Structure 1
């Protein structure tokens, strides 16, 4: 488990977070689950990678760039080392990842 997922793993499912990415996407979401996954390559292919991820249920879209229209309320979004956010805070502003 990498540092990002370890930081999220300190909080129970249902915890409300504010998550920002470098492309100006910013959402409020609740932790749904943390799970192990892969990058969908075949195990014998170069570049195959297993990693942990956190599924967040989107509760509010604070800002959304035009090229990310597929994000909708109540949908799940994956947070991981493959899709790393620049900053994660609790709803009260307490930082838990990124710009601390």
Structure 2
């Protein structure tokens, strides 16, 4: 059986290996942060929906409509401003809030029924 020669490490391959290892470490750090932020988003949405469910029950008890277009418009305008402050695409923020609002309205209609 013939021995396979071990590749020689040159300064260039050492530098490439070091750069690749640093990139892998940075990637892991970013992914860990993303995972933490995803958890924050989920728990925050859960908390938000607890409050909107309470609002839905209150609206149902007092025969109020499930939707409040004036408030929704104010919230969208506020979120667009917050998105700009956070360096987030305001159109994305608006789409996201519209999605959440439609889900809240759906819940309010279910509660009313």
Give your verdict on TM over 0.5: no
More strand by share: 1
Report the TM-score, using the length of structure 1 for normalisation: 0.23
Report the TM-score, using the length of structure 2 for normalisation: 0.22
More helix by share: 2
